[in-house]
Structure 1
Amino acid sequence: MDIVGPHVFLCLILLLKTCFCLYEVCDRRPLGTNTDPLPPDNRFMIDVYGIRDNMYIPKEEYAVRLFSRDGVSSFIAFTISIREDTTENKNNPRKPILLSPGKLEPLPNSNNTKVLTTCNNTVIQSDITPKTYVEAKWTAPEKDNKCVTVFAVVAVRPDVWYSFEGPLSQRICEDRRKADDMQPMENYNCQVCEDARYKLIFEGMWSYNTHPTMYPPADLVARFSDVVGASHSNDFSPFKYNSDATDGLKLLAEQGNTTNLEVEIYQRLGTDVRTVIKARAPPRTNMKTISTFRASRKHHMVSLATAIVPSPDWFLGVANLELCDAKTHEWANNVIFNLYPMDAGTDSGKKFDSSNEATAPPQPISTAKIDANIPKEQLKPFARLVFQLIRTYYNPNCTEDPGLTEESGGEGENSERTEDGSEETEETNKVEYRPSPTTSTTSEEPPSVDPESSPECPMTPWEEWQECAGECIDNKVNGYQIRFRNHVGDPAPECLKMPLTDMQNCEEECEEEPAGGEEEEGEEEEE
């Protein structure tokens, strides 16, 4: 039998001490302080740039930002770290399985952050000079790792520090939506040189067959309003998620009237708006309409909205959709985004034909709960937006903030003046696969009243008939065409049943498109 010597006991004691010390060394308190932390005082905040609705995309890279809210208050030390989620351990319920939190590390070539080598996924200061902003890189974990908590502690003096509660902690969960349900990451520093022209395709996907419990009764004609929006800068958007609707969006969502929303956009034309976008309403809710617009380095976002008619205040739309790729700083070649119904928060009606019931006070824009019995993950989109890059334009002021080309307010269209002095149409529209003329823009003048409508239910005059919609077979279209009108003012309950849509059969000659399809008529040739 071997006899254990005293040197073996000494080694065992040293090993235990080393393990104990290693465990203790992973101490995330800043500067190794022994004082107790103070609760956060809201001067400092941590956030993850690029996420939406506190959801991350697996394996995507994000910037973790720690900063002072006022830009003045400073800190000398900090610790940024991430904590993984857990899942049930069927073999040992008392010991849950740790999932992956991804990877947290300093930004490349960072001179004010470094890795805390004794702790996993932890970044600290490289010096104790006062700071108001630091940043680290987080690579999100792979799929099925549930949620990750990003947190920080901050020291303003060697013995004064704030714990990772409230604004210094953020829990982010995996985004399980389909790719076409997620907007591209916003780019707050677009460096693309050229201007760009895009084709917008609004593809309706809403019908009784696809949405039997989310479609109006048979005695009501379902339709979308004209599609209205803009290419714009970061400093403006016709509407914002989780914010109150503007008067223009309220009128569009409740009545399908685009007038006031167009006026709100036109007021920013030439500064924060590059192009006012308007496309005709598709003839049916499962058909498409097409328009084109231009974007620039300053005006690299696009927002659009169309009303769901009839409805209390429901609409489809997208706000601040990014066209300037945040990683490559190049124009996106193709962007697809699904549209689901949203509630403008201005009317409390629950059904398509509900009478007016103003919401007081108005509520922020949110998801419309048309059928609460359908789980969120089973909802089908009402429409799809497709943005296709047509061409780019050389900008001689590439190294500077691009100057705006002159926008002329021609009757019925937006146009821009080219270098040779000619007018270039900014907006063309197309229903299905057949080109249609540009839609006329509305003014701030009040809408006229149809003299044939009753005083109790004043209506606007019928608009012009839209183009004959249908498939071109043997150079002939046998289809239908639609025209619209709107209520003037807030309609009384008994007026809501009055038709806003009129339809008739039509027949006209057409030219069949060659196989593969062609671009819209009037598109400019490459210079």
Structure 2
Amino acid sequence: MDTARNLLFVSEALFHLLLMMLTVGVGVHSMPVPTDVPMCMATETAQYRLTFTGKWTQAAFPKQYPVYRPPAQWSNLIGVTHSSDYHIWQRNEFASNGVREFAEKGEAWTIMKEVEEAGERIQSVYGILSAPAVVGGSGQMSTEFEVFARHSYLSFIVRIVPSPDWFVGVDSIDLCDGDHWKENVSLELFPYDAGTDSGFTFSSPNFETIPQDKITQITSSSPHHPANSFYYPRLKHLPPIAKLTLTKIKKTNQIISLPEEPTQSIPLLTGNEIDDSPINTPLDCEVSVWSPWGLCKGKCGDSGVQHRTRYILMHPANNGAACPLLEEERKCFPDNCL
């Protein structure tokens, strides 16, 4: 409960900081740096509702699923609306110091400073948005934001908690289609590794990656190590760990403005995700290597018996392969028999 309260407190404090920054800069609509990307020709601004749905359940991701200290959950969402020449993060590129701190610790001050400086330097950031943390692997958070033709792209990042430096997010999704705005966008989200910490499991201690790696997508076979919490060699692809839904809000006679508060996070009552069938990922039993054969027990002149054992590393789940025998014996003849 203390962890949940702390997350909600940090989330609320961060939102008020973001709102203050946005209020200061909302009146500045600077021209973006020219690029070869086709320009959005929409003549009016558009407002969207962003809904983030966590799909990180024990049924879908049974291996090493965090149950306590802390349990599986999501950080607050940090996002920006921007032009095509800006990236808050990019796959196969190095994470900035701000992305590093957010992916490893959930600290957003540096990444917010980077966004602010980018807006001042290359004039490509229009708005900053935030949504509160989800205290649970399955749940929802949502917020509303505004876009216009010169800055029609959306990017965001959400930290996976607990994890070494893992996150989900979107890099530069264009909400404009020629001269009009897209009505609905739905994307399945998969985990990424920020490349700054070399931990394999959700609860790994800090182990800095030197030299720093680039941001890569985590798959069922990469990193290729049985200790990896997302390592499911039977699967071709991981199931989506989260989902993004963007819905264009119809205009009314009222003036469009950002909400005073983001919509609160909503935990889902069951492990089933909204509008989705439940996913049950099979997890095979994993056992250790055999121990050395034990002493041969028997009478002198007669054959005896010796044993070896192994133990369970991972119990099966969701109809995964059952555990093999954990003990074997074989005939032997006692050594040094007098």
CA deviations 1:210-249 (Å, max 9, x no partner) are 2111622545322111000101101111111110001111
CA deviations 1:22-53 (Å, max 9, x no partner) are xxxxxxxxxxxxxxxxxxxxxxxxxxxxxxxx
Change beyond 3 A, Cα 1:216–1:187: farther
Match of residue 263 from structure 2: 430
Match of residue 384 from structure 1: 243
Alpha-carbon distance in structure 2 between the residues aligned to 1:249 and 1:427: 26
Conservation of the 8 A alpha-carbon contact between 1:196 and 1:393: no
CA deviations 1:460-488 (Å, max 9, x no partner) are xxxxxxxxx688xxxxxxxxxxxxxxxxx
1:307 aligns with 2:171: no
Matching of residues 34-433 of structure 1 within 5 Å = 188-213=38-63, 215-216=65-66, 218-269=68-119, 271-325=123-177, 328-368=178-218, 369=223, 370-374=229-233, 377-391=236-250, 424-425=257-258, 428-432=261-265
Alpha-carbon distance in structure 2 between the residues aligned to 1:470 and 1:359: 35
CA deviations 1:355-410 (Å, max 9, x no partner) are 1111111111001244233466431111111010013699xxxxxxxxxxxxxxxx
Alpha-carbon distance in structure 2 between the residues aligned to 1:344 and 1:332: 30
CA deviations 1:110-156 (Å, max 9, x no partner) are xxxxxxxxxxxxxxxxxxxxxxxxxxxxxxxxxxxxxxxxxxxxxxx
The amino acid of 2:144's aligned partner reads T
C-alpha deviation, 1:348, in angstroms: 0.6
Flag structure 1 segments of 5+ consecutive residues without an equivalent. Answer: 1-185, 395-417, 434-468, 472-527
CA deviations 1:263-289 (Å, max 9, x no partner) are 222233473112101000123220101
Conservation of the 8 A alpha-carbon contact between 1:344 and 1:364: yes
Alpha-carbon distance in structure 2 between the residues aligned to 1:388 and 1:311: 30
SS in 2 for 1:208: coil
Q: TM-score, normalised by structure 2?
A: 0.60
The amino acid of 1:431's aligned partner reads Q
Larger-Rg structure: 1
Alpha-carbon distance in structure 2 between the residues aligned to 1:206 and 1:217: 12
Conservation of the 8 A alpha-carbon contact between 1:303 and 1:318: yes
Conservation of the 8 A alpha-carbon contact between 1:225 and 1:257: no
Change beyond 3 A, Cα 1:283–1:218: closer
SS in 2 for 1:268: helix
CA deviations 1:502-521 (Å, max 9, x no partner) are xxxxxxxxxxxxxxxxxxxx
The amino acid of 1:372's aligned partner reads Y
**Greater Cα offset, 195-204 or 369-378:** 369-378
Count of aligned residue pairs for this structure pair: 222
After the TM superposition, list the runs of 4 or more consecutive aligned residues in structure 1 that deviate by more than 2 angstroms.
Answer: 186-189, 214-220, 266-271, 368-378, 391-394, 423-428
SS in 1 for 2:88: coil
Flag structure 2 segments of 5+ consecutive residues without an equivalent. Answer: 1-35, 224-228, 270-338
Change beyond 3 A, Cα 1:267–1:340: same
Change beyond 3 A, Cα 1:375–1:260: farther
Conservation of the 8 A alpha-carbon contact between 2:56 and 2:72: no
Change beyond 3 A, Cα 1:339–1:217: same
Conservation of the 8 A alpha-carbon contact between 1:290 and 1:429: yes
Conservation of the 8 A alpha-carbon contact between 2:145 and 2:258: no
SS in 2 for 1:207: coil
SS in 1 for 2:199: coil
Alpha-carbon distance in structure 1 between the residues aligned to 2:66 and 2:265: 23
Change beyond 3 A, Cα 1:424–1:332: closer
Alpha-carbon distance in structure 1 between the residues aligned to 2:37 and 2:60: 35
Conservation of the 8 A alpha-carbon contact between 2:132 and 2:265: no
Q: TM-score, normalised by structure 1?
A: 0.39
Alpha-carbon distance in structure 2 between the residues aligned to 1:210 and 1:250: 27
Change beyond 3 A, Cα 1:424–1:220: closer
Alpha-carbon distance in structure 1 between the residues aligned to 2:204 and 2:268: 32
Change beyond 3 A, Cα 1:375–1:238: farther
Alpha-carbon distance in structure 2 between the residues aligned to 1:196 and 1:356: 42
Conservation of the 8 A alpha-carbon contact between 1:279 and 1:289: yes
Change beyond 3 A, Cα 1:217–1:350: farther
Conservation of the 8 A alpha-carbon contact between 2:98 and 2:114: yes
Alpha-carbon distance in structure 2 between the residues aligned to 1:331 and 1:385: 17
SS in 2 for 1:226: strand
Alpha-carbon distance in structure 2 between the residues aligned to 1:375 and 1:249: 32
Change beyond 3 A, Cα 1:302–1:427: farther
